[in-house]
Structure 1
């Protein structure tokens, strides 16, 4: 995102995830606030992904979407990486970090994948 306040908020969310993990009370409020910046910047994909994310967290009290596979996909491959080290916190941190740089096509692509996973969960 372009807004300096939005980038500060992304950094705050990432820092809080490192310190306290998925603390649903503050986390959901912070993601909702980040979503307002995406609305202002008129980035519909990020607006949707952030809404689906906080709704998912409210429903499940955690983030149950695994980190995306970072290798190129071939037909028939799973889009989800099977790795014991993947935690809800790491996956959520990755999703939130993607919103920092929306000029990166890889970030947009990963956000679209997260959107699909969240919609189908």
Structure 2
């Protein structure tokens, strides 16, 4: 996103996720506030993904969507991968994608998050 206040909101969400994890009390309001910036900038994909994200968190009290994978993961890989797919890490990744929408892989991953959220 281009708006400096949107970037600050993204940074704030990421910082809070690092400090407190998925604290639904503030997190949902923060994501809703970020969504307003996406509405103002007329970015429908981000608007939809953020809405689906906070609705998912409201419904389940956590974020159960894994980070989209570029390549299939082999089953005998390191245990660090499970940490990458923790709810906090996945949500941090999703939120960070909204920072640079000129990156085609970010758009692709946001589309994949949208599909995963809609089918959950």
TM-score by length of 1: 0.90
- Structural RMSD (CA): 1.4
- Where does structure 1 lack aligned partners over 5 or more consecutive residues? 72-76
- Pairwise CA distance, 1:114: 0.1
The answer as to 2:45 corresponding to 1:41 is no
**What CA deviation, in whole Å up to 9, does each residue of 1:51-84 have, x standing for no partner?**
000000000000000111133xxxxx68xxx932
Q: Which residue of 1 aligns with 2:27?
A: 27
Per-residue CA deviation, residues 85-112 of structure 1 (Å, 9 max, x unaligned), is: 1200000000000000001111000000
Kindly report which structure 2 residues correspond to 1:26-105, keeping only aligned pairs within 5 A, or say none: 26-71=26-71, 83-85=81-83, 86-105=85-104
Q: Distance in 1 between matches of 2:55 and 2:88?
A: 16
Moved segments of 4+, more than 3 Å? none
Partners of 1:87 and 1:104 lie apart in 2 by: 24
Which one has the bigger helix percentage?
A: 2
Corresponding residue SS for 1:113: helix
Alpha-carbon separation, structure 2, partners of 1:70 and 1:11: 25
Count residues with an aligned counterpart. 113
* TM-score, normalised via structure 2 length: 0.90
Flag structure 2 segments of 5+ consecutive residues without an equivalent: 74-78
